[in-house]
Structure 1
Amino acid sequence: MTASMTAFARVETSHDWGSLVWEIRTVNHRYLEPHFRLPESMREIEPRLREQLRKNLSRGKVECGLKIQLSESCDQISVNQAALKHMNAALVAISETVERTAKANPMEILRWPGILNQDAADVSQIQKDALGAFSNAMKQIQETRNREGAELKQFIMQRLESISSECKVVRKHMPELLQAQREKITQRLADAGVEIDQNRLEQELVFLAQKADVDEELDRLETHCNEVTRVLNSKGAIGRRLDFLMQELNREANTLGSKAVGVEVTQSAVNLKVLIEQMREQIGNIE
């Protein structure tokens, strides 16, 4: 299924211990590049979050932010008197050993792990709820990416049909263009009064016709279009494959333009390059 790399999801859930909010943004990127902004108590589950993300996404820059709000009953803090006593004893020992020890800053002491008690909810429960909400957010991301991907697919299919139409126009005009080229050369020789061996003239005209022949380029363009259609209908990450096919299509369009023997072919070559560029811009956002 064709999926876009651009999406946004926001999931908010409420619980006995409080509430949490996940916000996830994804944009196009060559590889999968996740970034997490988590509260310190949630760092333990980051590997599981990354694993879940990799199972759902293949490419894109992904920014994931989690905000947690504890209820008032879970947001009361107190000083761990036992830990503070040990801390004070350590400070006394240091002051007795080291001369002119600076006075301890109370705020720095409060930052020391274990000094503060927090009557918070079970951290494991919060982590479990955060993982569940993240799963729901990823579902939203997938749905959004798939919806936009379906629209991108339709856009590309329309351009592929236009390319096929341009190829048919060139095939239709080529015989008359080659005949007009032949008559033009013959008339110029006649006007110049130049006598030339007819066999040699025929050989030169055949050579010019071969140089101007674009059947091979048209066949390749149509083959590449068929391959683009096949890739669009395949599963998994397809963006890089499509980008490569756009390069091949552009190569054939350039060759077609260099072989043009008439205004019609030149115009078709220009139209092809415009269509290919339009597809390339959209494919840059496909996973």
Structure 2
Amino acid sequence: MTGYGDARLERDGISVFVEIRSINNRYLKITPRYSEPLGALELQIEDEIRKSISRGTVSLSVKISRTCCADNYQINIPLLNSYRDQLRSWLADSGDSQAIWSDFQTLLSLPGVIQDTSSEGEESVLAPLILEALSQAVEKLVSMRVREGVALADDLLSHLVVIETHLEQVISRAPEVVKIFNERLLERLNRLLESQGVEIEESDVIREIGIFTDKCDISEEIARLKSHISQFRTIIGQDASPGKKLDFLTQELFREVNTIGSKANDFEISREVIEMKASIERIREQVQNIE
């Protein structure tokens, strides 16, 4: 299912922007992108996503920025003094005693003189800040997916109605299949009797009809199909994460409908079966994207 969520939080000079989006996928695939390495926190972030999302291709972006503040920088006085003394010694030998005072900025740019202390102790702030922003972004994404899920559920239920409509046609037609076979069998026997003068016991005719009736009896398949449809509706209405259950039921729907078509051996029923299988295929495509 598709969805999007984002969140921006700032605390103690640290700003975090989390953006998360998902597209349809039968399985869960997380693709993270971080503005800087986060070490073990990256695993924790993915675990938090898995708690709320079980299907879909999820793209995650975490951007971290820090507010530039004078308090975040310190001058390493001992090192600066060391540079100064070395330069004074060199200048004394060179005879240019004023050069050092005209280029103080050069001293500050020497390695280690200016120290960035903004990252010191920020771990205790950064990790909770990222996880909090992630939670807010995921909540927005899930909310959007829920809204899509409601519309998707309505679409699935409409396909179930179509299946039931064609199933009723099958139920009405089933007794006619046996009746037609009975009439055709008697017609063939009468022709055989007239042309060959062969006598056939009535019990043999009844037995043949009984054998065919057993072979084309689809009452059990119809009962199971109705049961699966009922379970499908129940799961959609009550289960918070129905995806895998509906996926299984969809396979069972297809199995029963396919068996009905094979056993009935009738053109009219086969036509209804084709329509039911078309609706089940649409359901199957949708169900693979449900959480």
Q: State whether TM-score is above 0.5.
A: yes
The Cα of 1:143 is off from its aligned counterpart by: 0.3
The answer to whether the 8 A contact 1:181-1:261 is kept is no
Q: In 2, Cα distance between the equivalents of 1:26 and 1:160?
A: 27
Q: 2:58 aligns to what?
A: 62
Structure 2 residue corresponding to 1:9, chosen from 5, 11, 18: 5
The answer to whether the 8 A contact 2:36-2:64 is kept is no
Change (3 A) 1:210 1:143: same
Q: In 2, Cα distance between the equivalents of 1:65 and 1:239?
A: 26
Q: 1:128 aligns to what?
A: 128
Change (3 A) 1:169 1:79: farther
Q: TM (normalized to structure 2)?
A: 0.75
Q: 1:275 aligns to what?
A: 279
Q: 2:19 aligns to what?
A: 23
**1:28-71 CA distance string (max 9 Å, x none):** 44554434322436445434433432332233343221112333
**1:127-156 CA distance string (max 9 Å, x none):** 433322211101111101111111111111
Aligned pair count reads 257
The residue type equivalent to 2:271 in the other structure is Q
Q: 1:158 aligns to what?
A: 158
Q: Secondary structure at the match of 1:286?
A: coil
Mean alpha-carbon deviation: is it higher for 212-221 or for 73-82? 73-82
Q: In 2, Cα distance between the equivalents of 1:75 and 1:273?
A: 70
The answer to whether the 8 A contact 1:74-1:120 is kept is no
Q: 2:201 aligns to what?
A: 197
Question: For the aligned residues, what is the CA RMSD?
Answer: 3.3
Q: In 1, Cα distance between the equivalents of 2:32 and 2:44?
A: 12
Gaps of 5+ in 1: 85-111
Change (3 A) 1:19 1:234: same
Gaps of 5+ in 2: 81-110
Structure 2 residue corresponding to 1:251, chosen from 248, 252, 255: 255
The Cα of 1:234 is off from its aligned counterpart by: 3.1
Q: 2:115 aligns to what?
A: 117
Q: In 2, Cα distance between the equivalents of 1:203 and 1:115?
A: 105
1:143 is aligned to 2:143: yes
The residue type equivalent to 1:164 in the other structure is E
Structure with more relative contact order (C-alpha pairs < 8 Å, separation 6 or more): 1
The Cα of 1:222 is off from its aligned counterpart by: 0.7
Q: In 2, Cα distance between the equivalents of 1:226 and 1:268?
A: 20
The percent of aligned pairs where both chains have the same amino acid is: 31
